A = this chain, B = another copy of it.
Amino acid sequence: MTIVNFYAGGTLDRATPLRKDSQALAGRLARPQTRILAYWRGRHLVASGDDTMAPLLLSPGEAPDLLDQGTPLFLGLADGEAYFALDVSMLDDISGHPALGAGRPMELRPLATRLDQATGSLLAYVQALMNWRQRHRFCGTCGSPTEAIDGGHALRCTDSACAAMIFPRTDPVVIMLVHDGDRCLLGRQGRFPPGWYSALAGFVEPGESLEEAVAREVQEEAGIRVADVRYHSSQPWPFPASLMLGFHARATSREIRVDQDELEDAQWFERDWMRTNLGSERFRLPPREAIARQLIDAWLEDRL
């Protein structure tokens, strides 16, 4: 059974061959049925509903001024109609814009609990690409400006002698619940709310496998050795560009040595104690939309 974490589970057809068909994309941008999502300075424009929220969907005719300025990013097709995302960060004030004014700019993470799964994935997709474009306005090889091509899914250096191509960046991160029979290893960073603990995590380094990254990070952060490193599931995490790769691993040593540069604390937690205290002021876990919680719950509920 494949586990689908939050920020995955998108229903859009990415229709990747269309990206290279600039004529077809121009045609889609002239079509009133086409839908455009707006992204403004790290926030998504959403329309308020009662319980759930959804992105504000503009028709091309509602935003001709904006389409002229930015490069719309082709997202894909839903029910045969094209979806694009547009960065409108060049506007200082969006509340006065005739079309954008109907939306509210919201950051993705606090919004997550009010989005359905497909929308969460759609906005994760938009956000990851917008973050990438923002950080690749210039070519890393020669320093010249880049330009968006392929419906916004590639950037090309504008220096014709260089012409380097830059593709979206996704940073693989391993996140792992280490256990030891009836105990598991959780850590907390100083920036976490009081009582909050989570699974350990860290970026995969060049020249190592995922399993080696798991073992190295657990050793570095908590001084614990592991074996039986087992993949659980994965999750896009566009804050700004991560892909979380979730594992369980069995501890083969016991004594914790906390790396104070990385963690404020790390401890062994008894399963029964966790069940009893979860939700109290002294013990909190990440929300269910985070893969960390999925890894912890799978172990707590004996589903390894």
**Are A206's CB and B138's CB within 8 A?**
no
- Cα A125 to Cα B134 with chains together (Å): 28
**Are A138's CB and B141's CB within 8 A?**
yes
**Are A10's CB and B125's CB within 8 A?**
no
**Are A235's CB and B209's CB within 8 A?**
yes
Q: Does A4 contact B (CB under 8 A)?
A: yes
**Are A206's CB and B132's CB within 8 A?**
yes
Q: What B residues does A208 contact at CB under 8 A?
A: 8, 10, 121, 125, 236
Q: What B residues does A216 contact at CB under 8 A?
A: 14
Q: What B residues does A144 contact at CB under 8 A?
A: 143
The verdict on A8 contacting B209 (CB below 8 Å), with A137-B141, A143-B137 known, is yes
**Are A207's CB and B238's CB within 8 A?**
yes
Q: What B residues does A17 contact at CB under 8 A?
A: 220, 259, 261
- Cα A207 to Cα B14 with chains together (Å): 11
With beta carbons under 8 angstroms apart, the residue of B136, B145, B207 that contacts A128 is: B207
Chain B: which residue is nearest A124 at the CB level?
A: B207
Chain B: minimal CB distance from A114 (Å):
18
Chain B: minimal CB distance from A23 (Å):
17
- Cα A47 to Cα B239 with chains together (Å): 44
Chain B: minimal CB distance from A63 (Å):
23
Q: Does A186 contact B (CB under 8 A)?
A: no
**Which residues, 73 to 121 on A, are CB-close (under 8 Å) to B?**
121
The verdict on A138 contacting B132 (CB below 8 Å), with A10-B208, A206-B168 known, is no
**Are A5's CB and B220's CB within 8 A?**
no
Q: Mark A141-166, 1 if CB is under 8 A from B, else 0.
A: 11111100000000000000000101
Chain B: minimal CB distance from A177 (Å):
16
Sample of 9 more A-B contacts, CB < 8 Å, known A4-B209, A138-B141: A2-B229, A8-B208, A14-B205, A17-B259, A125-B205, A132-B206, A170-B171, A206-B236, A207-B238
